[in-house]
A and B are shown apart, each in its own frame.
Chain A
Amino acid sequence: MSHHRLVKAAMVAGFAFLWLPILLLVIYAFSADRIPFQWGGFSLRWFQALAANERLVESALLSLRVAAGAATLAVLLGGAAGWALARFGPFRGRALFGALIGAPLVLPEVVTGLSLLLLFVALDALTGWPAGRGATTVLLAHATLGAAFVAVVVQARLAESDRSLEEAAMDLGATPFTAFRTVTLPLIAPALAAGWLLAFTLSLDDVVIASFVSGPAGTTLPMALFSMLRLGLTPEVNALGAVVVIAVGGMLALAALLLRPRRG
């Protein structure tokens, strides 16, 4: 019995360690006091102030657009790469391709950010595209990072499934395209959904890479937050945190629902 209690206590302590700071942030978002983390009675004034802060709202909307675009692009590129790595056999340059796809996973973000910045500047000078830096370049950079994660997830999913499945489909009269559509795609769909959410979250979260490759018209929410912090903290930040926590929590619940093991 005491052993059971100990386990329970450890679990509570663990959750407290993880969630208490976030809980505090959400609670103090509803405080009326000017000073963050000082209780001044229940109030929604900081949420109102947040809604009125056009710069923040704009950067939040931009972040969501960039994250959605980057996640979609990452799923397309990373999904194809993961499929190729898992199913195309030992093609020429496979090892190099795998290493390059996975590079953003292990490279420091500063290096990724800087190298992408150099690429965009050089491209701009050579071809005139992308003209300057902003939301587009952030989207492309985040798609690069997200594709690495999607490729890994998709490759793992395919590696654990039988590679004769596609052959069986073709044996039964399916062209390679039909076999992909009716067998491969349903198999990797949960991995693609999980990869999309991963890439979306990564993009929403990133300050470092965005700071490198962004320009005047490309201030994402984390960047805006970061610059606000330098000027001094207001409970507006708490309110914003609360909104983000609730939004992310909702999305995670959705992801869990999508990825739940289906039976019968």
Chain B
Amino acid sequence: MKPLLRAEALTKRFGGTLALDALDLEIAEGEFFALLGGSGSGKSTLLRIIAGFETPDSGRLLLDGHDIAATPPWARPVNMMFQSYALFPHMNVADNVAYGLRRAGVARADVTGRVASALAMVGLSGFERRKPHQLSGGQRQRVALARSLVMRPRLLLLDEPLGALDAGLRERTGFELRALQRETGAAFVMVTHDQEEALALADRVALLDGGRIAQVGAPRAIYERPASRFVARFLGAANVLEGRAMEGRFDSAEAGATFAGDIPAHTAAIALRPERIRVAVAAEGANTARGVVEDVAFRGDDSLVLVRLTGGATLRVAHAEEDGAPPMRGADVYLAWDAEAVVALPA
């Protein structure tokens, strides 16, 4: 697909801290893109630079091939949904949604029609005369969404769109966001610190760390093939084990185990997901380990078992309910995993 937005070596410094470190990024037309990262990763700075509220110190930001780094926010065909929603408290819902259209000089008759269809799209027809303080959190979020979407942006920025919602509402709203994105055909760029949210909603995810992109790709790809220890730990809290690669095998002293599988010569560490490890009756050879159960926590559909390996490292093991009762605390256990579960980390 043709890139809609292209960031080239974007750099931004706040005082002594480097918020963005020569970041490169491409966002395609009509895709749902997630910027994932912890606090201080630079994801919010990147979003604010795309919206125009911050200017990069260096680098280029191209929208449809034109550099917009110096274009002020009010002249960009980009709209943003704020984390706080930022609804104008002195205006009713209809006036909030009509605000951008009025600034753009859209004819009065068209404004009414477009506001009505935007509100219908988010399921808020009949709420035109309400003030923001008369709405629930979920309804405010929809008004904010309608206010941005009514501008028919090529690119919609969403700052933690589900962050302020109750847990029960998040899942439903997430599906609705995706439906709206498909319906409007706009590219959505979402900032989130929640990896589940990013993996569930986005077509592609960029994981940011220290102002750089640690990895970018489809959710399944980066979940299954993390490029570094950081990515493996951030997504799904994988076990990361240090050691040495030799002749297609990986020896980890801290695990007291040898990993066999697809292991290139330059492998720096091994990632092993908790749900791919099983408790075995006996174990011998590669892809097995031995240890003592340190603790067990019941989580509903599985139990999290912490196992201290003979090499000293502690392994997180997800023990599924259908595999029977989890081992007791203090028990000696054997662990085993398949060769396909072994992920070699290049960095």
Query: A residues bordering B, Cβ < 8 Å?
Result: 161-162, 164-165, 167-175, 178, 182-183, 186-187, 263-264
Neighbouring B residues of A161 by C-beta, 8 Å: 89
Q: When the two chains form their complex, are residues B131 and A168 in contact, meaning their CB atoms are under 8 A apart?
A: no
The answer to whether A171 and B79 touch across the interface, beta carbons within 8 angstroms, is yes
Which 9 pairs of residues, A with B, have the shortest CB-CB distance?
A172-B100, A173-B103, A168-B86, A164-B86, A170-B73, A186-B90, A164-B82, A170-B74, A171-B80
Closest CB in chain B relative to A172 CB, distance in Å = 3
B53 at the A interface (CB under 8 A): yes
* 22 A-B contact pairs sorted by A residue (CB < 8 Å): A161-B89, A162-B84, A162-B86, A164-B82, A167-B82, A168-B88, A169-B88, A170-B52, A170-B73, A171-B52, A171-B73, A171-B74, A172-B151, A173-B75, A173-B100, A174-B74, A174-B103, A182-B99, A187-B89, A187-B90, A263-B131, A264-B130
Measured as residues with beta carbon below 8 angstroms from the partner, the interface class of chain B is 20 to 34
Asked whether, in the complex, the Cβ of A167 is within 8 Å of the Cβ of B84, the reply is: no
The prevalent SS among residues of A at the interface is: helix
Instruction: Let me know if A169 and B131 touch, CB within 8 A.
Output: no
Interface membership of chain B positions 67-84, coded 1 if the CB is closer than 8 angstroms to chain A and 0 otherwise: 000001111001110111
B107 at the interface (CB under 8 A from A): no
- CB-CB under 8 A from A165, the residues of chain B are 86, 88-89
Closest approach, in angstroms, between the C-beta of A71 and any C-beta of chain B? 24
Name the CB-closest residue of B to A178: B103
Residues of chain B having any CB pair with chain A under 8 Å: 51-53, 72-75, 78-80, 82-84, 86, 88-90, 99-100, 103-104, 129-131, 134, 147-148, 151
Given A173-B100, A173-B104, A186-B90, verify A164-B84 contact (CB < 8 Å).
Answer: yes
Besides the known contacts A170-B73, A171-B73, 14 further A-B residue pairs in the complex with CB atoms under 8 A apart: A164-B82, A164-B84, A165-B89, A167-B51, A167-B73, A168-B80, A168-B86, A170-B74, A171-B78, A173-B75, A173-B151, A174-B103, A183-B88, A186-B90
A170 to B90, CA, bound (A): 17
Q: For residue A167, which residue of chain B has the nearest CB?
A: B53
Query: Which residues from chain B contact A175 at a C-beta distance below 8 Å?
Result: 72, 74
Chain A residue numbers with a CB within 8 Å of B80 are 168, 171
Residues in B with CB closer than 8 Å to A174 are 74, 99, 103
Query: What is the CA–CA distance of A168 and B79 in the complex, to the nearest angstrom?
Result: 9
| Contact present for A264 and B99 (CB under 8 Å) | no
| Contact partners of B89 in chain A: CB under 8 A | 161, 165, 187
With both chains docked as a complex, state the minimum distance between the C-beta of A6 and any C-beta of chain B, in angstroms: 37
Which of B72, B100, B103, B151 has the largest number of chain A CB atoms within 10 A? B103
Complex contacts, A178 vs chain B, CB 8 Å: 103
Q: Considering the chains assembled together, what is the distance between the CA atoms of A263 and B88 in angstroms?
A: 14
> When A173-B104, A175-B74, A178-B103 are in contact, do A168 and B90 touch as well, CB less than 8 Å?
no
Residues of chain A lying within 8 A (CB to CB) of residue B130: 264
With A and B bound together, what is the CA distance between A174 and B53 in angstroms?
13
Within 8 Å by CB of B82, from A168, A183, A263, lies: A168
A162: B residues at CB distance < 8 A? 84, 86
Are B99 and A172 neighbours in the complex by a CB distance under 8 Å? yes
In the complex, what residues of B have CB within 8 A of residue A182's CB?
A: 99
Given known A173-B104, A264-B134, contact A167–B90 (CB-CB < 8 A) = no
Rounded to whole angstroms, the CA-CA distance of A167 and B159 in the bound complex is 13
